[in-house]
Amino acid sequence: MSQQVPIIVLREDTERTRGRDAQRNNIMAAVVIAEAVKSSFGPKGMDKMLVDSFGDVTVSNDGATILKEMDVAHPAAKMVIEVAKTVDAEVGDGTTTAAVLTGGLLKNAEELLDQKIHPTTIISGYRKASEKSAEIIDEIAEAVDPTKSAAYKKILRDVAKTAMSSKFISGSKGELAKVVVDAVLAIAKGAKEDEEISIDNIPRQKQVGMEAVQTQLVKGLVLDKEIVHPTMPKKVEKAKIALFECPLEVSKTEYDAKISISDPTSMQTFLDEEEKMLKSMVDKIVEVGANVVIAQKGIDDFVQHYLAKNGIMAVRRIKKSDVERVHKTTGASIVSKIQNLTKSDLGKAKLVEQRRVGDDKMLFVEGTPKSTVVTLLVRGGTDHIVDEVDRAMNDALYVVRDVVIHPYILYGGGAIESELATKLREYASTLEGREQYAANAFADAIESLPATLAENGGLDPIDILVSLRSAHTEGKSTYGVDLVKGKVADMKKSRIIEPALVKKQVIASAAEAAQMLLKIDDVISSKGGGMPEGPGGEGDFDDE
C-alpha cells in the first residue's frame, strides 16, 4: 500500500489554531479586555490614563471611551469591544458592565470546558439563561407613570444621578441631573408621536471656564461660530434666516482656464463683473427679506461687506450636522443655489444673538417655532475636565431617554444582578442534563458584578455576596451594595435607579458575544493577522 501524501491546502504564511487551543486563546483575549476595564466599574471605580500615538492624553473611567481608545489586534478582543460599542450605540450606558460580564461568562465557560462539557451544551445553557434573564427583568421592573409629572421628573433625575455617580463630577450630579432631565423632556415634548427621541437633538458645546456645575441648558441652538464681519449686527430679533449649503462666492470653473487681459480697462471690467455677480447674491437675500444668513461653506469678502451694509448678520463654515439642526428648529429650507432662494425658504427665530462664552464668541438661535433641538453648554476648568463632564452628560442623557421611551426601572447597586442570580439558580434546577451547569455559570457571572462593585469600593466581596444572597433569599429584591455606608442596603430607599432597557441590552449583548466566541473552534489567520501564540500546541477535542 502506497504511503499517503499529505495535502497542503493553506498557504505557508498562514497560521491555524484549532479546538481547545483556539477557544483558550479567544477566552484569554476577551478576559484580558474585561480585566482592563474591571477596576473602573462602579461609583468607586478607578480612572485610566490613555495616551494615543500623537501623545494626546485622555483621563476617564468611562468604559466606552477606554475601549474606543484601546488599540487591540486580537480578533476576540475586538469582538468584546464591538459588544461595548453596540451597547453604547443602543442605550448609551452599560459599556463597562457589558465588557466585564462578557469576560465573566467566558471565564466560567472555560471552567466548564475543562470539565469536558461540550461548547454546544454551554451555548444552549447560556442562551436559555439569557432569555430567562430578560423574562425576569420584565417581571420585576417597576413601571413609571409619565402623567405624574413631579414623581416622574424625580425618578428621571435619580436615573441621571445614578449614571453620573461613577464619574468625576459626581459631586455636582444633583444640579446637572436637573439640566439633563429638562433637556430630554424638551426634545421629547417637541417630537412627534412616531418620531424617535434622539440625543443628536441635544448638541453639546464644550467650553473651558467656570465649574462643571455651571453647565447650562439653552432652549435653542448654539453654533460655535462668530459673525463674519465686525460691522454686522450682533443681535437680531424676529430673525428671518436664510440657510445655504452652497458657498456665497463666485464659483470656480470645472476646468482650468486663463484669461488674457491686454489693457487696464479690461482688467477693471473683469473685476466689476465679478463684483456685480457677488452683489446680485446679496440683492437676492435682501429681496426675500432675510436678516440672518447661515452658510455651510465660505462667504466672499465682498458679500460680507454688502451684507453688513444692509444690516444682515452672517456666519459661515458651520458643520453639516448644525445645518440639519438649523433646518429642523427654524424651518429654514436648505438652499443649494442662491438663485432659487424664496421667501418661503426662510426660517424663523425670535432671537439670534452673538454672545461671549468664556474666551470665545458663539451664536445663539432662540425662540424657534419647532422646539426639537436644545443645546447644552458644557463647562469645566480645563480641557480634560470639560471632556469628562461631556462624557458624563452623554451617559446621563441616554439613560434618561431610555426611561422616557421605555418607562420601566430597576434598582442598581447590584440589586438587580443579585436578584437575577438568585432566580437563575432556581431556574437552572429545572433544566435537564449539563445545561444546568451552564445556567449556574451564567448566574455566577452576573453575580460577579456586585462583587466587583464591592471590591472596587474597598469592601470585602465575599462578605458582601453572602449578605446579598441572604437578603435576596428572604425576598428583599431591592437590596444592593451601598458604597457610602459600606454595607448591603435597600437601593429603593437610596434612590439608586437604572433603566430596565439598559440592563436587558447589556445582558443580551454579553451573552451573544460569549456564545459566538464559544462556537469558534478553528482560527485561520495570515501572519501578522493579530492571533497571538496559544498556551499550548495544536489540538482539538479528540486529543483531550
* DSSP states along 20-51: HHHHHHHHHHHHHHHHHHHTT-STTPPPEEEE
Gap between the Cα atoms of 346 and 367, Å rounded: 15
DSSP conformation class of 196: -
Q: How far apart are CA 461 and CA 38, in angstroms?
A: 14
| Cβ 307 vs Cβ 281: under 8 Å | no
Catalytic (active site) residue 120: no
Determine which one of 17, 58, 96, 329 is catalytic.
96
User: Active site includes 62?
Assistant: yes
Nearest to 423 by CA among 483, 507, 517, 509: 507
Element (H, E) at 462: helix 461-473
Taking alpha carbons only, the member of 254, 466, 251 closest to residue 338 is: 251
Are 111 and 503 in contact, with CB atoms under 8 Å apart? no
Which one-letter amino acid corresponds to residue 410? L
Q: Catalytic annotation on 95?
A: yes
Task: Judge whether 58 counts as a catalytic residue.
Answer: no
Select which of 17, 58, 95, 162 is catalytic. Answer: 95
3-state secondary structure of 524: strand
Residue 352: exposure state from Cβ atoms within 10 A (0-12, 13-18, ≥19): buried
Q: Using CA atoms, how far apart are residues 412 and 111, in angstroms rounded to an integer?
A: 29
Question: Which member of 17, 58, 62, 452 is catalytic?
Answer: 62
Grid cell listed for 241: 434666516
Name the active-site residue from 21, 300, 395, 482: 395
Q: What residue type is 524 in one-letter code?
A: I
Neighbours of 138 (CB within 10 A): 11
Enumerate the active-site residues: 62, 95-96, 395
